[in-house]
Amino acid sequence: MSVGTEDLLKFYYYLLLTRGLEDRVAKLYRQGRILGGCYVGSGEEAISVGSACALESRDVIAPSHRDLGAHLVKGVQPKEYMAQYLGRRTGLTRGKDGNVHFGDLSRHIIGFISPMADGIPVAAGAALAFKIRREPRIAVAYFGDGASSRGDFHEGLNLAAVLTLPIVFICHNNQYAYSVPLSRQMAVPHVADRAKAYGFPTRIIDGNDVLAVYEATREAAARARSGGGPTFIECETMRMRGHAEHDDASYVPRELLEEWRRKDPIQRFERTLREREVPEESMRAVQVRVLKEIEDAVDFAEKSPLPDPHEALEGVFAT
Amino acid sequence: MEEITYLEAIRQALWEEMDQDERVFLLGEDIGAYGGAFKITKGFLEKFGEERVIDTPLAESGFVGAAIGAALMGMRPVVEMQFADFISCAFDQIVNMAAKHHYRLREPVPMVIRAPYGGRLHAGPFHSQCPEAWFVHSPGLKVVAPSTPYDAKGLLKASIRDPNPVIYCEHKYLYRHAKGEVPSGEYVLPLGEAEVKRQGSDITLITYGAMVQQGLEAADQMSAQGIEVELVDLRTLYPLDTETILASVKRTGKTLIVHEAPQVCGIGAEIAAVIAQEAFRHLDAPVMRLTAPHTPVPFSSPLEDFYLPNAAKIASKLKDLASY
């Protein structure tokens, strides 16, 4: 299946926007202009962008903390993301929660929370609702290799399997869970080796190839939508920065980072675009648009009001 | 009015809500063909089908998480914990995912977790616990603990219709030991309202769940001795009906709080603090508590009998308080 120029440029836009926004936030973090921690998915953008672009608009995603790209594809605006990081009332949680802890059901995004893998059974529950109501929608759960050690990973995968739920599991295998390398997290070489035990198809793909992620997700989504049940896609990649921006990742061998830097998903995709003869001026236009959106987002966030102190008491319960 | 058991009242509430609202569905262990460990859902699979009566793998965190996801999609899941003791396996999903969701994102999480709890069935440390205070301490959850069939039915229906996560604590001893009249027609009781189950002017006895019946028996014993006890049945533990509590305490000036859960940081501690702050000058005696001791629930009969409050122990405490 061939992806047209319009889609190629769409992927390019979301890849650049994701990288650009996160680089900008990391800079703001070092300048002391954001609140709290800073989590980026640098080098892993192809996974969330490629997979989210393969979904229908009403499909639901449960992203993890390195999935800004999926949020953006689903419609989260750069200015909302920046305002979230700055703890502003215009952020997606109105200052109630920080950094990448956000979601929005009106855009079919289940909010992420810190305990890793919690979103997996929750996404399965969304898929269960679609199955019960016979809606042609699917759910996608995102998580990392670290999350695959938690019980909720296993409970969620197994539940989805026995109930034949319309769901796709997308694992960023970025080789490290904070400071612990994969070899110390599991005694099998791949996260997919764990997933195999639950009795549905698993795939291991190049997570730094946006087109490979897109194709694998399309296939898995079609299977889920037609009643074929879950698929597990392990996307091999590398965490190119620390767990969060406070972490210099000095425990990661330099040569490993150098090896993966040569596989950078954005540079690779730019080569693909040129091979496919996408006009340079079209690529340039995307770059210019992205830069402007990022600066507008920072400007919007910094000019946005902080919440009033008493808002801390609001919204504990739905009425 | 028909007289039914507490178990039958819960069964009726579930049945009626499922019958009239197709968003309501059940998740839990052995709730399908087997009808649940306590047979609450007997016949549900035949009536509502396997898509709405879902036997899950033995994975509490997984199926509570799934209930949250379905609730976010507009369903109204009701989860059965086989025993409340196993709710700890799903603690993270409940207090981190479900409880905090609306505060963070303004999106409702309408779901109920039914938690069969409590002792007096010689079931030992892992089938007898009273975990209600864990959840009262977690902002974003409502916690319900009915004592009669009438309350059990009306409050479960309200819990299912509530747009928030509700921990519905149903006392296992009451399942077949509590009988009472329930109207044949539709009714719903509001969450957050205590009820004065017995009026009296001398001492306020505040309790809930299985201790209500014990408290009423103790109150009758006291009445024979000329001391009139007012019994406040909390019915909902969060939000707590402090208005009813304080109105009664201000009338009587003496308070005994009874619960089956351990004393330290239990519901009674919170109520005692509220009374001390809000009704101090009305008090004629220290606020007293009668609870389980700070130990796991023991198994053998003499140990469990020693552990649990009962009518005789309550009457003894009431006597102390009356003579203070």
CATH number at residue B96: 3.40.50.970
Parallel, antiparallel or unpaired: strands B229-233 and B255-262? unpaired
Cα separation, B76 vs B110, in Å, equals 6
pLDDT band for B85, please (50, 70, 90 cuts).
very high
Structure tokens at A2: 């061939």
Number of domains in chain B: 2
B67·A125 Cβ contact <8 A: yes
Q: Which residue, of B156, B182, B208, is where some domain finishes?
A: B182
**pLDDT (tens digit, 9 = 90+) per residue, B178-199?**
999 999 889 999 999 999 999 9
pLDDT at site A1:
55
Parallel, antiparallel or unpaired: strands B288-292 and B255-262? parallel
Radius of gyration of chain B (CA): 19
> Does residue B293 form part of some domain?
yes
> Does residue B301 form part of some domain?
yes
B63 to chain A, any CB pair closer than 8 A? The answer is yes
> Does residue B189 form part of some domain?
no
B225-260 burial by CB neighbour count: b if 16+ within 10 A, else e?
eebebbbbbbbbbbebbbebbbbbbeebbbbbbbbb
* Dihedral over Cα of A243, A247, A253, A259: its sign: positive
Same domain? B129 vs B178: yes
> Does residue B247 form part of some domain?
yes
Cα separation, B283 vs B131, in Å, equals 30
State the count of interchain CB pairs (< 8 A) between A and B.
139
Q: Which single residue is written with the structure tokens 């006890």?
A: B229
pLDDT at site A5:
95
pLDDT at site A192:
98
What is chain A's mean pLDDT, rounded? Answer: 97
Active site residue B127: yes
B32 to chain A, any CB pair closer than 8 A? The answer is no
pLDDT at site B2:
82
- Residue pair B178/B217 in contact by the 8 Å Cβ criterion: no
> What's the predicted TM-score (pTM) here?
0.97
Q: With contacts defined as CB-CB under 8 Å, which chain A residues touch B74?
A: 129
ipTM: 0.97
Same domain? B15 vs B72: yes
Structure tokens at B11: 């069964």
- On the question of pLDDT at B1 being above 90, the answer is no
Cα separation, B252 vs B232, in Å, equals 12
Same domain? B152 vs B217: no
> Which neighbouring-strand residues pair with A113?
none
Same domain? B139 vs B208: no
Structure tokens at B207: 């309790």
| Residues in chain A, pLDDT under 70 | 1
Same domain? B133 vs B254: no
Domain region containing B249: 195-322
Same domain? B248 vs B301: yes
Same domain? B23 vs B171: yes
Same domain? B49 vs B86: yes
Q: Which residue, of B182, B213, B240, is where some domain finishes?
A: B182
> Does residue B127 form part of some domain?
yes
Domains, chain A, in order of start with CATH, read 5-305 (3.40.50.970)
Count of helices and strands (H, E) across chain A: 12, 7
pLDDT at site B299:
97
> Does residue B190 form part of some domain?
no
**pLDDT (tens digit, 9 = 90+) per residue, A75-95?**
999 999 999 999 999 999 999
Parallel, antiparallel or unpaired: strands A180-181 and A176-177? antiparallel
Same domain? B162 vs B126: yes
- Residue pair B249/B275 in contact by the 8 Å Cβ criterion: yes
> Does residue B307 form part of some domain?
yes
Give the closest of B62, B73, B103 to A152, CB-based. B62
Please name the residue of chain B whose CA is at the shortest distance from the CA of residue A128: B70
Mean pLDDT of B132-138: 98
Q: Which residue, of B130, B159, B182, is where some domain finishes?
A: B182
Structure tokens at B291: 């609870």
- Residue pair A158/A230 in contact by the 8 Å Cβ criterion: no
**pLDDT (tens digit, 9 = 90+) per residue, B272-302?**
999 999 999 999 999 999 999 999 999 999 9
Q: Which single residue is written with the structure tokens 């968003």?
A: B23
CATH number at residue B298: 3.40.50.920
| Active-site residue identified among B101, B102, B122, B127 | B127
**pLDDT (tens digit, 9 = 90+) per residue, B21-80?**
999 999 999 999 999 999 999 999 999 999 999 999 999 999 999 999 999 999 999 999
> Does residue B318 form part of some domain?
yes
Same domain? B171 vs B220: no
Same domain? B144 vs B243: no
Give the closest of A96, A118, A121 to B104, CB-based. A96
- Which residues neighbour B170 within 8 Å (Cβ) at sequence distance 6 or greater? B6, B10, B114, B115, B116, B117, B146, B152
Please name the residue of chain B whose CA is at the shortest distance from the CA of residue A96: B104
Same domain? B148 vs B270: no
3-state secondary structure of A18: helix
A121·B102 Cβ contact <8 A: no
Cβ atoms within 10 Å of A176's Cβ, excluding its own: 22
Please name the residue of chain A whose CA is at the shortest distance from the CA of residue B57: A159
pLDDT at site A315:
98
